[in-house]
Each structure stands twice: as C-alpha cells, then as structure tokens.
A and B are shown apart, each in its own frame.
Chain A
Amino acid sequence: MTDLKLYQVGTFAAGNRLVDLELRSVQAHADRANSITSGHRACQGCGEALGARYVLDAAMRAAGGDVVVANATGCLEVFSTPYPESSWQVAWLHSLFGNAPAVAAGMAAGLRALGRETRVVGQGGDGGTVDIGFGCLSGMFERNDDVLYVCYDNQGYMNTGVQRSGATPPAARTANTAPLGPEPGNAFGQGKSAPLIAMAHEIPYVATATVADLRDLERKVEKAMSIRGARYLHVLVPCPLGWAAASSDTIRLARLATESGIFPVFEAEYGEVTAATPIRRPVPVDEYLRLQGRFAHLFGKHARPDLVARIQAAADRNIVRFGLVEAEPRTGS
C-alpha cells in the first residue's frame, strides 16, 4: 500500500485513532503529565489554564519529566494555588508579579552550579511579562540564560478586574479604557509586541502560538526545549471573562485571531523570522470582534466601522509583514 494520508481529521485534532500513538499530540495521551490538574479555580473555558497544560505537558515530555517552573503572580497563580491546595503536578515555584524571569534565570544558574540537567521554564501572564516583569525578562534575554519563558497572553490584567495591559488591543473595553468618547476603548497606536522585542535581543528562539493550534504549539515547545539559551514563547489564550465572550468560544476566538491575521503565528531564530503559519480559511476581523463583548461598542446602534477598518488594516499589515497568505496553505494530512 502506498503512503496513505489520514484525511478524516488529519493533523488538526488532538488525536486520530488511525495513526500511530507517537504521531498523536501529547494531549491525546491518557498518561500525559497533566501539569495543571483538575480542581483549579479558573473560570469556565479558561484559555490560560488550557494553554499552561498544553505547554508544560509538552515540555515535560520533551525533557523526560525533569522540569522546574517559576510562575509570575497573576491569574495563573491565583487560581491554581490557594493555600494549601495546588493544581501543579510539576516542580513549581511561586514568584512575585515582576520577577519570574529573574527567578527562572537564578534557578537555571543554580542548577548549572549543581551540575544538574534539569530544564527551567518561566511563565506568566501578559501583565507580568509585557509590563511588570519586562525588565527582568529583557535581562534574561540579554544574558541568554538557559530558560524557556512562556507568556500566556490574555490581553489584560484579568485577575485584578480586567485592566488594560501593554498587550491589550486597540478599541478594547477594559475597566480603565471605557467605551466612551471619540475613540472608545483602548487607544490605537499604544501597546507593544513582546515577541518582536524578544527578537530584537537576537536570542536563539522566539515563537508565537495559540490554544487553537495544539499541534503547532506542541511542536514549538518541543523545538524550544531542544535549544539551549534564552527562548521565548508567546501564546494567545482568550479569556472568556475579560473578553466578555462565551466560555465555549475560547478556542474559536484564538482560531479567528489567527485566521483574520490579527494574531500572526510565526517563529524566529536569532532575530530572523524563519516560518509563519499560513492562513487556511481567511476571515474578516469582524468575525473575530463580534464574538467579544469588549468590542461590542464597535457594532450595533452606534457602530464604528471606521475603527473596525483600522483594526482590519492592522490585520492586513500582519498578513503582508509575516507572509501569512503567501505560503502554501495547510491542507492537513
């Protein structure tokens, strides 16, 4: 029989009963590490809880279970570790809101001094990474410390009541960017792209990913774990609470964010973009925005098509900049 592709659900679903076990995702295995287990207090449909399990389970498999994790304060910490309970089934260390990259760097240095092969992962939300911990993160990059740092980006300070962060998108409603005035919601032209800044440090590996593309995410974690030095992974994790979206739409939103071009999924090595995930089913940004209450003021009675057009223009720019349609679209296999 010739090389026969497995079309039914191809490579897009977590598993496929027709393919060998090792070709299925880490998440398809009943014996996955379950790095963050049941009983955590994350909201229904939490993208961050999901993203953290995806990333750490893949890292655990890549490192044969020999992993330690430093966690910045934020949702991820608060919902997982109310004293004396813990959801973590990995060696896990609490740190402050702003110093997780530094703590992780210290752990890596300490382990090296002890002659241990244990791998170090630092992780936090976008607030702890893009804003508050940014100095520590930049230092970790600049020293090329042997840490994989993962930012779970839900585009705001969700734990403290949905305030704006440096990763909040333009026009989004948050507790402190009210949908009022001529430019309702978060201002255009502010905020920052942590992956591009990480690239500017010319570290060995930078990648973006989302909870909508599990296979891509796992591949990137595995690749990152095969590299030594500072690595940065930026994972989009929709937040049903902060985005005012249905809990069942978490993965759909992440998918629409990539398919609209709003969130480019790419990889870079030593400051150069090496690969981008092409858009498979292009959609206008409308489809992404309309599912979220934080953008509700752009539609309806006092619709702001002009602002939607500006968001679309940003997405179009990403498509050109990262070559999101030029590459051959994925057909799966």
Chain B
Amino acid sequence: MADTRNKQGSGKARAIYASKERQDEWMQAIADRLGRPRITEMPQHPFRGAPDFWRAYDLQQEERINLFMNNWTNLGGHAFRMSSMEEVGRFLLDFVRETGAQKLLMQRQPELMGLGLAEALHDVECTVWDSSAEEMIDEAAQADIGVVVVDHAAAYTGTIVVLSSPDKGRSTSLLPRALVAVVPASAIEASLGPILKGLDARPKDQLPAGVHFITGPSRSSDIENDLTIGVHGPGIVYALVVG
C-alpha cells in the first residue's frame, strides 16, 4: 500500500497539504502577518502555567481525601473509604450480587488480578483486558461494570485520571454502565497542577495515546436544561479510596 512508502501519504492528492513545504509556507505566512521574521527558537514564556498564588495551593493527605470524596459525591458519584484491597474485593462481590450484573470487565492491573474475583464469581463472566484479543471493544460494550485502578486523582476538582496502555483499555472506563474506580490514597493530588506538570515532564515517547480526566458521571443538560446522567459514558460511578 502507498501508506507504507510514506507516512504522510505520498501519491495521494492530500499529500500536498501534509507536506513540509506547505507547513513552512504557513509558518512564513504567519510571521509575515505578524510583521517579523519567523521564530524558530523557543520564546521566553513568562506566564507559563497557573498564577503563583495557586502553585502554593496544597493540602494534607487527609484533607485531600475528604475534599476528593466530597466533590465526587456532589457530582452524583459515590465515594467510599477502604482500608485495603481485600475490602475492595468484598465490595465488588456485594455490588455484583446485589445488582445482578452479568459481566464484569477489569484492567490487567496486578491489584485487581489479585482480588480473585473470577474464582469467587462462578455465574458471572469476569473478563480481564487483553489487548491481543480482537473483540475487546465488544466485550467492553457488553460489560455491566468496568473496574480500573486510577493513575492519579485531583481533590480540588474531584477528578480521577486514567492513562491508556496495552494493559489498560480506554473502553473499560467508558463503555460499561457502571464504573468502579479504585483510587490509592497516595495518588490523590491537591489539584490538577502536579498531574499536568507530570505529563510535561514525561519523555515524549512515553506519553500514552489517551490520558483521560474523569470528573463524575457522564452528563448532559441538552434537553430543556434538565440534567441527565449516563448519556454515553457510565452513569453510575464509584470511587473507592484505598489507604
């Protein structure tokens, strides 16, 4: 296929729009418009990031946990504090039994694999994310519950952050009706700032394809301003803070 010869698609009509010449032409036109030569060195950016007073914003771990859980609850989510992963396991068993869930999907994360859910739930289909399987998206679409361990959380906004990887599908936190997010207490930052700075600091080839900040359940106010929960993404969202 033509694709393999050139990533930008040589031999295709659209290749001219993706060419280096076109890019240079554009940048030169911008510089001309701005009435100065082209800038190719990184400019001084004195206003980078949040204002100074905000950089100083921080909370003790207990305060972070409380604020995160409060915000998550106010958004229409449910938040519980748990002392260990065993407690998370027990919660999941109860949740599956009480809701009559038929299918549960979880990320391939050691914390979750260690729960022994598949063994405990005989009559429930328990799937672990498998990037080599063809039909993972369909599996996720059919799942009642998706379970993830989050990478980060931010107390101030009530946000969890999940990063994609071969072991962590983007669909797990998106397609099932209910999302159960395990939030290690140590992963909760006071605000978004440190998490975003962490993304800047990563080597470029180590940024995941998808970094998703999730703040409460899926919602819409498009019909007469009437709040609807769970329009496309999960409407039932649990945050289990562990530690």
Q: Do A and B associate with each other?
A: no
Binding site for A on B (CB under 8 A): none
